[in-house]
Amino acid sequence: MTTSNIFARARAYASLTPAERALLKLIEGLICAALVAALPIVAEALSRGGVDWSSIMRAALAAASVAILMALTKYARAQADPALADALLAPEPAPVPAPNIPAAQNGSDIAPIHSIAAVPADAALTSRP
């Protein structure tokens, strides 16, 4: 299976295996890692005129290792995910009917949902759940 096929299937919301989902997460993470590594290169080049490549490589390695950990986590979590086709074919829950609220007596279209009861100031301090 080629990666372009995985991208096309992901765009079409087709079912992907946990390994394919993890591969997509790894690619996403590596792109983010490349951006994280590129920022210090640009910042150092603009500020000092030179680039400390050893620190850049350490930052890139740290970002890439985070991307690998994210992909492994995605692979582990995707094992319990239902198949996309099953989730799409699941019946929708029944709609909840709107409550029957009578119109207000003062002529406005807005009726109060509930009345506010007066509570003594010391009642809130002494009451327990």
Best CA proximity match to 19, nearest among 56, 54, 27, 63: 27
DSSP at 110:
-
The helix/strand/coil state of 94 is coil
The residues near 52 (Cβ < 8 Å, ≥ 6 apart) are 44
Each residue's pLDDT expressed in tens, for the chain with a length of 129 residues: 555 688 888 888 888 888 888 899 899 989 988 888 888 888 888 888 778 888 888 888 888 899 999 899 988 888 877 666 666 666 777 777 766 655 555 555 555 565 555 555 555 555 555
Residue 59: burial class (beta carbons within 10 Å; 0-12, 13-18, 19+): middle
| pTM for this prediction | 0.54
Is residue 78 within 8 Å of residue 21, measured between CB atoms?
Answer: yes
> Given CA atoms 107, 105, 103, 114 in this order, what sign does their dihedral have?
positive
